[in-house]
Structure 1
Amino acid sequence: MKPVCHSRNDSKYYNEEQKDAGVVFQAMYDGMKSRDFYVKKHLNLTGVHVHQRLAGCELLNDDKPGPLHFCDAFDGQCMEEFTHDLEQNDIHMKKPWIISWDQEKQRIIKYLYGHVYHPICIKVLRRYLHLEKNHVMRKVKPRVRLMRKKLPDSQGLQISCLATGFYPRHINLTLFRDDQPVDDDQITGGQILPNGDGTYQMRKSLVISDEELREGHNYNCTIKHLNLDNKLDIIFDTDNYDLGGSSSRSVVISVLVLICVAVLIITALIIWWKRRAAGRGSETSQNEYSLTPCEYTMF
């Protein structure tokens, strides 16, 4: 039951943070434990299931406290989601509660959010933004890579645009076909993922059929990021892609030609070696017949 704070152990606020975390986590634990009982009964669940809660606050650009966010997930799926507006002291639902709260319960929850959770969250957020401002406010430009991958069984060509190593995390990466954005349902990827060094990456991929390649469309990748003076616009080279497996046939033909040449060379070497061996045998016989008895005696 001890809260684990991902904070600096040498922080002068360590004891205060432990106390605040204890208040928040104890309340969350009690609330989730009691709610589990009703949710399992309401959904007719048996056995072992997972209940998770994600909570956090937002600080606006003018240092004004933003909304408090909550999301409850059951078995990995977000089922209940809402925000608390501090100014209006009101709850805005994004996904309704599985089991509704009565007015008295909502009044208690609003008080806890407005006078306990929200102040603690904003206080800690301000503190760590100040401590980590050099890290949070740093600017790193994205590195961009274009990749092509031939799909098996003549399924076409997959092109990918990867932007990596950028910070902050917001980025706009768009794939175009003939200067028109490609529909999202044709694109795979697009999630912003963390790198191990604190930067982020995003990859988007598109499969182009052989028929589309024959039509000669132009494809390009455009990237916009806070640290780029101008947008990056990179064109995919699909002209050198061989349609219909001609590249594979060329490779097969080249291999067969090399094998034939190798066989001819080996055959010629064998014939040459046999002739040379035969020539040496004939020369040896002639030398033996020309030896004199005296020469035999000398041996």
Structure 2
Amino acid sequence: MFMFVYMLSCWKVVSAGSHSLMTLVTYIDGQTQFPEFSVVVMLDDLQIGYYDSVTWKPVYRIHSDAKYFEEEQSDAGLVFGDMYTGMKNRVFYLKKLQNHTAGVYVQQRLAGCELLNDYKPGPVHFWDAFGGQNMEELIFDTQKKDIQIKKPWMISWDQTKLNKVKFMYENLYHPTCIKVLQRYLNMEKSNLMRKVKPRVRLMRKTLSDSHGLQISCLATGFYPRHINLTLFRDGQPVDDDQITGGQILPNGDGTYQMRKSLVISEEELREEHKYNCAMKHLSLDNKLDFTFDVAESDPAFFSQSVVFSVLVFMCVAVLIITALIIRRKRRAAG
């Protein structure tokens, strides 16, 4: 129902080696079984907290220091309370703008901050999605203390509104986000800084309908989630529009996987191209490179192999039957 795929694709702007604190916020206008307002708090790819309009209180999955309890409750009330009011008012105007008068209307937001590789505070990112479309995006530049609007707003801001938003980002959103990010990063550093090497599988599948071949490169069991997986044809990267897959998916044990596949036509098989899969990951000292043995999966080669195997089996069967007949005759003669 919700646009988590879109949210994760936006999340990719956070660079490898840095750390982020992101909030995935959902506001629902209409009757559903879900809370009207809910927030999931993520430290990198680890969920650390939850907040909704049922209790209006944050719930943290990681045990925090008791001395920060009142401060965290107050911070959550200020930040999420302002988000709730802003999104509720915005939905009121957006429904009119999009002529949406009945049913359920969903607004989602991905917002958060980043610590760069040198642990210096980075910019604040902000994306909005409405009814599954019409995304809006802005970045708050912490150095220039200014807002960069990356995608046009459906409802324009006047100067008063813009000044208020700048003030909130500079004095509430950014300092609170960086404070919480640094605090929980210190608590979960050993978990978040671990490096697990990917396990690699090369797979081939003969396509009976087209007499072609599908090759797949699967990297699984790796952490952190950032990975560079590329398919090559004769040393050149295969165009993305020819490849299926490529999404980073979670495993049940806290690691990730990625699969990329390519269909090779019967004509391409006869051209005897060389295909290989290369990957880079933080857990690896060097790039890994694996070559597909496509020739052995050529349909013609497969057919010849089957014919040869049948002939060998028939010869062996004839020899066994002949030996049994000779043995019986010798017994009869004795």
The one-letter code matched in structure 2 to 1:106 is L
| Secondary structure at 2:289 match in 1 | strand
| Residue number in structure 1 paired with 2:99 | 44
| Residue number in structure 1 paired with 2:110 | 54
Normalized per residue, the structure richer in helix is: 1
| Secondary structure at 2:228 match in 1 | strand
The one-letter code matched in structure 2 to 1:76 is G
What's the RMSD between the two structures over aligned residues? 2.3
Structure 2 portions without partners, runs of 5+:
1-52, 322-334
Shift of 1:246: 6.2
Instruction: Flag the 1:235–1:102 CA change in 2: closer, same or farther, 3 A.
Output: same
Q: Does 1:11 align with 2:68?
A: no
Structure 1 portions without partners, runs of 5+:
266-299
| Residue number in structure 1 paired with 2:212 | 156
* Map 1:109-258 → 2, pairs under 5 A: 109-243=165-299, 247=303, 250=306
The one-letter code matched in structure 1 to 2:88 is K
TM-score (norm 2): 0.72
Greater displacement, 195-204 / 101-110: 195-204
Deviations 1:104-131 (CA, angstroms, capped at 9, x unpaired): 0000010011001111100000001100
Shift of 1:225: 1.3
Instruction: Flag the 1:24–1:63 CA change in 2: closer, same or farther, 3 A.
Output: same
| Residue number in structure 1 paired with 2:77 | 22
Shift of 1:78: 5.5
In the comparison of the two structures, how many residue pairs are matched?
A: 257
Deviations 1:43-90 (CA, angstroms, capped at 9, x unpaired): 222222211111110112232211111111112336111111122111
Counterpart-to-counterpart distance in 1, 2:110 and 2:58: 15
Q: Is the 8 A contact 2:274 2:292 kept in 1?
A: yes
Shift of 1:242: 3.9
Counterpart-to-counterpart distance in 1, 2:224 and 2:233: 28
Shift of 1:248: 10
The one-letter code matched in structure 2 to 1:115 is N
Greater displacement, 10-19 / 114-123: 10-19
Counterpart-to-counterpart distance in 2, 1:162 and 1:139: 18
- Consecutive aligned runs of 4 or more in structure 1 exceeding 6 Å deviation: none
The one-letter code matched in structure 1 to 2:152 is P
Counterpart-to-counterpart distance in 2, 1:184 and 1:18: 46
Instruction: Flag the 1:231–1:10 CA change in 2: closer, same or farther, 3 A.
Output: closer
| Secondary structure at 1:29 match in 2 | helix
Counterpart-to-counterpart distance in 2, 1:144 and 1:156: 23
* Map 1:247-286 → 2, pairs under 5 A: 247=303, 250=306
Q: Does 1:107 align with 2:163?
A: yes
The one-letter code matched in structure 2 to 1:26 is G
Instruction: Flag the 1:10–1:172 CA change in 2: closer, same or farther, 3 A.
Output: closer
**Structure index of larger Rg:** 1
| Secondary structure at 1:161 match in 2 | strand
Normalized per residue, the structure richer in strand is: 2
Shift of 1:99: 0.7
